[in-house]
Amino acid sequence: MTVIDANRMHEIETRYPEYFHRSFRQRFGGLMILMATLLYGLYAAWFFDLSKLFAEAHWERVGIYLSQWVSYDVQPELRIQDDGSIEVRYPRFSPLGDNPHPDWLVNNPDGSISVSISGTSRSVTVSKSETIVTAHGVSVPIELSSGAPKVVGPVPGWMTVYDDNVLADLGFAGNVSISVDRVKIRKRFIGWANFIFDTQSSFFDKPVSEVVSLIVSGPRIKLDQSNLSLAFDDIWNNSEWQHGDVWTKLFQTIVMAFLGTLLGSLTAFPLAFLAARNITPNRLLNQILKRFFDFLRSVDMLIWALFLTRAFGPGPLAGSGAIFLTETGTLGKLYSEGLENIDNKPREGIKSTGAQTVLVHRYGIMPQIVPVIVSQTLYQWESNVRGATIIGAVGAGGIGLKLWEAMRTNANWENVAYMVILILIVVFLFDTASNALRHRLMGTKTH
């Protein structure tokens, strides 16, 4: 065991004072940061009243919206006539078409109608005087003869009784609303209804093999148009999914992002040389341009879009202009800061040979600044594809406006899912292409 005397200990303390004589900040800095973070979290929870927010949030809507993203429903309405007969009606734009005869709705010999909500475990049987709802292993009869529907026996937890109707919640499979003269049924199916052909198409509700046969070698459905052309028209002009309009608006969004970023970079590039202190030694001009860049980028792209839609009307021109103004400010700042951080030695060396200013910039500055320009411009380009979707919601054109319209109805969530997936695919492709192009231009390898 080695014993260190007082002189040796003093020598070690003198040589390494940072370990033996630490400041208050060094000793308690980490603890102070932790306490400050905790206090800020408590303040944020109080300021935003998170407890009330979480308590009053409609969490059940999350499941409803997600289910509607991946499914659709059919809503038959069974109306009980005065003579005791039952008439089946569907909404005007039913996914089943104008004359539906689904196999899950059966007319019984006694005049009643049975509807399978989910196989045999969840079903509804409607007669002129009674409705029987079967779910969760029990069958609940509901009398319809009095002024209001009356549940016979105990009311299960999945059934709610109101003054003039009874609502049976059958989970994801659907629900049933029962009144004395009508029964409304909502039956849910997984998938997207009529995604290829809508109910007005000549190919609607035909098996895939029959559609392929008609397109390849079948007789013409319309004498003046081939079946292939007719099928494409029916898909492109699908009234429910509006593929043609969605894809056109998506292309508008891409063009808006590209055009706005391109014009912004072309405008910011020469201005950045005038704003850089080491390139243009005019402090007044430097400050004016830098404050100009700050102004352009401090006004959000969404605000620019609102201004331009008022000036030029709604459309992709306003969207491209909003991106152009924002990118001029953002890229101008990034380019000028990149120029101010270059190594001046190559530039001074070329200048000492008596070369013209253009050549000094070309060979002394550009090789250093090109990686910054390429990297930042490509990043802003792919970011603006997402931004163009947002500004489209205020009328600046593109798929954003169509997405907002679908969300406002609060009923077309499958269309919302379709457009969101398209946007995600486009953003992923642009991100991949941007990374590949960036690495190729900068001479680096991707991993």
Judge if 163 and 250 occupy the same domain: no
| Element counts in the chain: helices (H) and strands (E) | 16, 13
State the pLDDT confidence band at 433, using cuts at 50, 70 and 90.
confident
User: Is the whole-model pTM more than 0.85?
Assistant: no
- The reply to whether 262 and 380 lie within a common domain is yes
User: pLDDT tens digits, residue range 122-150?
Assistant: 999 999 889 999 998 899 999 987 778 89
pLDDT score recorded for residue 78: 92
Residue 215 maps to a domain: no
In this predicted structure, what is the pLDDT of residue 20? Answer: 63
3-state secondary structure 295-335: HHHHCCHHHHHHHHHHHHCCCHHHHHHHHHHHHHHHHHHHH
pLDDT at 212 over 80: yes
Lowest-confidence region among 21-25, 132-136, 231-235, 361-365: 21-25
Same domain for 184 and 319: no
Q: Would 199 be classed as within a structural domain?
A: no
pLDDT tens per residue, range 50-88: 888 888 888 877 877 888 888 998 999 999 888 888 999
The CA distance from 320 to 308, in Å, is 10
180 and 275 both lie in a single domain = no
Decide: 178 and 186 in contact? Cβ < 8 Å: no
Task: Return the pLDDT at 196.
Answer: 92
**Token duo for residue 342:** 């270059």
CA distance 342 to 360: 13
Domain count across the chain? 3
Q: Is 250 part of any domain?
A: yes
Domain hosting residue 29, numbered range: 6-47
Q: Which pLDDT belongs to residue 57?
A: 83
**Within this chain, do residues 93 and 28 fall inside the same structural domain, yes or no?**
no
Q: How many CA atoms lie within 13 A of 93 on its CB side?
A: 9
Same domain, 249 and 179: no
Q: Quick check: is 353 in a domain?
A: yes
29 and 88 together in one domain: no
Percent of the chain with pLDDT over 70: 94
- Residue 262 is part of a domain; what is its CATH number? 1.10.3720.10
According to the 3-state scheme, what is the secondary structure of 191-239? CCCCCCCCCCCCCCCCCHHHHHHHHHCCCCCECCECHHHHHHHHHHCCC
- pLDDT tens digits for range 247-276: 999 999 999 999 999 999 999 999 998 998
Query: Are residues 21 and 93 both part of a single domain?
Result: no
Residue 446's pLDDT is: 52
Interval 209-216 mean pLDDT = 90
Same domain, 184 and 328: no
Asked if residue 314 has pLDDT above 90, the reply is: no
- Does residue 406 share a domain with residue 304? yes
What whole-number distance in Å separates Cα of residue 268 and Cα of residue 333?
Answer: 8
Q: Checking phi first, is residue 194 left (phi over 0); if not, alpha (psi -120 to 50) or beta?
A: left
Is residue 354 located within the same domain as residue 318?
A: yes
2, pLDDT greater than 70: no
Give the pair of three-digit tokens for residue 173.
Answer: 């499979």
43 plus 78 within the same structural domain: no
Residue 396 burial by Cβ neighbours in a 10 Å radius (0-12, 13-18, 19+)? buried
